[in-house]
Structure 1
Amino acid sequence: MRDFTDKHIVIIIEDMPAPLDRRVWQEAIALKEKGSSVSIICPKMKGYNKSYEVIDGIKIYRHPIPFEAERAVGFLLEYSTALLFEFALLVKIYLKQKINVIQGCTPPDLMFLPVLPFKLFGVKYVFDHHDLNPELYLSKFNKKGFFYQLLKLFEKMNFRTADFSIAMNSSYKNIAIERGKMNPENVSIVRSGPDLERLKICKENMKYKNDKKFLVGYLGVISKQDGVDLLMKIIRLVLDRRDDVQFAIIGGGLELENIKDIAAKLKIKNDVTFYGMVKDNNLLSEIISTCDICVNPDEYNEFNDTCTSVKIMEYMALKKAVVQFDLKEGRYSAQKAALYAENGSLHDFADKICYLLDQKMLREEMAEFGYQRVVKELSWQNEKMKYLNFYSKVFSNRN
């Protein structure tokens, strides 16, 4: 494997701070363990407000993010502001230590802009393709027009600028090759597998069930496209049928307070415990280990259908059966570890939850299948070698 020890990699993320972004943090740790210098540029967020800190030997530079856009014009303003901060921080970092590779993570597809000047100095650009931004736009605004076409142009330019690309799954790799016109040899699939050293199955703690028989869990970021508003309606449907279920919502985000308001309006707030962002891995593992099943409420759209949901594999790593809508990549990840609700049907989703709660043997069989799939195929311990092999190729300059 190519020598990593004299290399400096800068990873840029715009939508989430480090080390909260688990995929990026796992990548950074993997590079650091091989001897590389690693810096991360990311936004500030509640709980992650330091402009600079070093964690586990990784240098983290954070910049302000004024707001989460809701309109197309707002996205351009949000991203433009972030790009200016990112470019300034790249200059600051480069003046301190030469950069060998910049890894830009979407969204947005504008990461190539602050990178371009550095390519003149021989810096390689790796496009880490987290999100399909044209499809994400459609999921939020449900229309194709000027801004949709603009996003497709940005995506094309991002691919054209990249020397190499990391795809989240086979759907993303096909898009990199077909839509981005990238050389297939320069595109590698590295999935966002759960870290089995971080997530460990614990003895269940009944206090999380709030004197109920069952606990249903959700783990993830709470933003507009994550379907947590739909989950609140699904919970209402479940509670209309039975009163023996408590729900645990683990995660933070700009929509958290809005989701709490929805829960209050639906009169379910006593049946739903909001834990917010849980940084303690032991606490997180304990809550999910106590759950009887877990849910992924991502609704069907072109974006979600091709997106690999990390939460599904984290549920599986903690031996939990899953209920989700029938999405292409979600089905690939979970396979027999999930029940699949009819897309668009909140009633069917609620039916699947109730059915699975009443089928203990089936839950256990599904959970065991999911756990073995993660251990043997999907864990970060498996994906890490793919990531490091990818970087060996980047360092060897085989373009």
Structure 2
Amino acid sequence: MRSGRRHITILIANLPAERDRRVIRECLTLEQNGYEVTVIAPRGDKSLKFLPGSRSTRLRPYPVFVYGSGVLSYAAEFLWSFLCITARLVGEVLSGRAHAVQVCNPPDVYWPLALFMRAIGRPWVFDHHDLCPEIYATRSGGKPNRWAFRMLELCEWLTLRTASAVVVTNESFRDNALRKGVPADRMTVVRNGPALAEIASEQQRDDGRPAGVHRVVYLGVLGPQDNVEGAVLAAQELTRRRGRTGWRLTIAGDGESMPALRKLVSERGLGDVVEFAGWLDVGAVHDLLRTATVAIQPDLPTRMNDLSTMAKTVEYLGRGVPVVAADLTETRRTAGEAAVYVPTGTPVEFAIAIEELLADPARRARMREAGLARFADTLAWEHQAGRYVSVWHRVLPLSRRGVGTPPTSRAPAPMRAGDAAGRK
């Protein structure tokens, strides 16, 4: 390129770029370290030409006309996305950009493009967001079609093995890739989570919670695998234990389970204690969590959830909100002493744990301090940015004609209104 700078193209298929907070932080980190970035993703906000918080990361959205809800509709959605992404990526290559590519899953179907890019001498980095075979098994009620599951495992293996480098969100994903034959020196753990700078930069506002009212919060995607109905049923159990005053459950997010959740709240007569906040931008997320007494992570102990890091939990810890969660391997590694762990994730277990925390301010204070320390010392994006950009310095060194290699320890600038809350 005429600027002499290296250009990275990032591919997303499952949501618009402005809703993927991990990708936003990655892009801003790359910008600050001398790279140019383009993101190819489904169209969201039609007014956006650049990534929120950036003046240089270009958006190349594509329209989506089919949204998956079953096997055939998912296949149609992924096929359409594959064709659109392929067309836009080829355009980026022909225009002299796309010196390297990062692909974010789900789905794990872009390995043919990896073979093409590597054949023409361009690095391909896989940013492993989700375990697709395990998602399918969870959404199938634990009884997946054997051949469909094996096909997803094959696609995951091909996606991992065709990458120049693999970025994973936690140690369990790293172990999974090792079992699939990925060399350890091609993998880097880069966790999810906001930056200290993002949280510190938010203007401090008065607590909007009514005096004497505890707020229990769920923040994130509302999908079948997220078990948000478990949080609603836990609220029903709390009405039996604490009555209907002095507390409220706020569900913030959106997804395909929203209609079913609204119906459940109506059928159980919980409209006075359960409220839906919708999908929130970064400022609104901060305001909500500043008013929270306890946060709930209702994900059940499936294999997928046991091995996954929930982005919502890091958001909770960053604001010092005590967490109630099922006893999952990566949740323990993330939250440590800042969470209460229940054995199986039943609504009754969640309700008992929440009730005990609401009645024990001293314990909540200890958990708050543990969460804030865990976030500041380990989880914040400032601790991840250097590891992430080191992958790119290895596979795509900055051009000598470019701007050079600035320090990699800086976090991206705080995200502004319009950036959305993500999940894993």
**TM-score of the pair, normalised by structure 2:** 0.87
* 2:262 aligned with 1:260: yes
1:143 corresponding residue in structure 2? 143
Distance 1:246 1:5 in 2: 55
SS of equivalent to 2:276: strand
SS of equivalent to 1:118: helix
Residue 360 of structure 1: CA displacement?
A: 0.3
* 2:224 aligned with 1:224: yes
Residue 100 of structure 1: CA displacement?
A: 1.6
Distance 1:304 1:70 in 2: 21
Distance 1:100 1:13 in 2: 17
1:40 corresponding residue in structure 2? 39
* 1:141-176 alpha-carbon deviations (Å, 9 max, x no partner): 122411000001111111221111011111111111
Residue 351 of structure 1: CA displacement?
A: 0.3
SS of equivalent to 1:268: coil
Change (3 A) 1:25 1:51: closer
* 1:169-215 alpha-carbon deviations (Å, 9 max, x no partner): 11111111112x11110011111122222234776745444x66211
1:85 corresponding residue in structure 2? 84
* 2:368 aligned with 1:364: no
**Aligned-partner residue type, residue 213 of structure 1:** V
* 2:276 aligned with 1:274: yes
SS of equivalent to 2:17: coil
1:94 corresponding residue in structure 2? 93
Distance 1:87 1:50 in 2: 23
1:157 corresponding residue in structure 2? 158
Change (3 A) 1:337 1:107: same
Q: Which runs of 4+ in 1 moved over 6 A?
A: none
Distance 1:97 1:84 in 2: 20
1:335 corresponding residue in structure 2? 336
SS of equivalent to 2:28: helix
**Aligned-partner residue type, residue 96 of structure 1:** S
- The answer to whether the 8 Å contact 2:66/2:76 transfers is no
Distance 1:393 1:248 in 2: 44
SS of equivalent to 2:197: coil
Distance 1:35 1:257 in 2: 44
**What pairs up with 1:1-399 in 2 under 5 angstroms?**
6-45=5-44, 48-50=45-47, 52-53=49-50, 55=52, 56=54, 57-141=56-140, 142-144=142-144, 145-179=146-180, 181-200=181-200, 205=206, 207-209=208-210, 213-242=213-242, 243=244, 244-279=246-281, 281-396=282-397
SS of equivalent to 2:41: strand
SS of equivalent to 1:269: coil
* 1:320-346 alpha-carbon deviations (Å, 9 max, x no partner): 110011111011100100001121422
- The answer to whether the 8 Å contact 1:86/1:114 transfers is no
Change (3 A) 1:260 1:49: farther
Distance 2:268 2:49 in 1: 42
SS of equivalent to 1:215: strand
* 1:57-76 alpha-carbon deviations (Å, 9 max, x no partner): 11112222334423333322
- The answer to whether the 8 Å contact 1:239/1:245 transfers is no
**TM-score of the pair, normalised by structure 1:** 0.92
SS of equivalent to 2:196: coil
Residue 356 of structure 1: CA displacement?
A: 0.4
SS of equivalent to 1:94: helix
Distance 1:8 1:317 in 2: 32
SS of equivalent to 1:177: helix
- The answer to whether the 8 Å contact 2:325/2:350 transfers is yes
Distance 1:326 1:186 in 2: 30
**CA RMSD of the aligned region, Å?**
2.0
- The answer to whether the 8 Å contact 2:230/2:346 transfers is no
Q: Which runs of 5+ in 1 are unaligned?
A: none
Distance 2:65 2:132 in 1: 20
- The answer to whether the 8 Å contact 1:105/1:111 transfers is no
Residue 392 of structure 1: CA displacement?
A: 1.4
**Aligned-partner residue type, residue 277 of structure 2:** Y
Residue 258 of structure 1: CA displacement?
A: 2.7
Change (3 A) 1:218 1:54: closer
Residue 379 of structure 1: CA displacement?
A: 0.4
Aligned length: 389
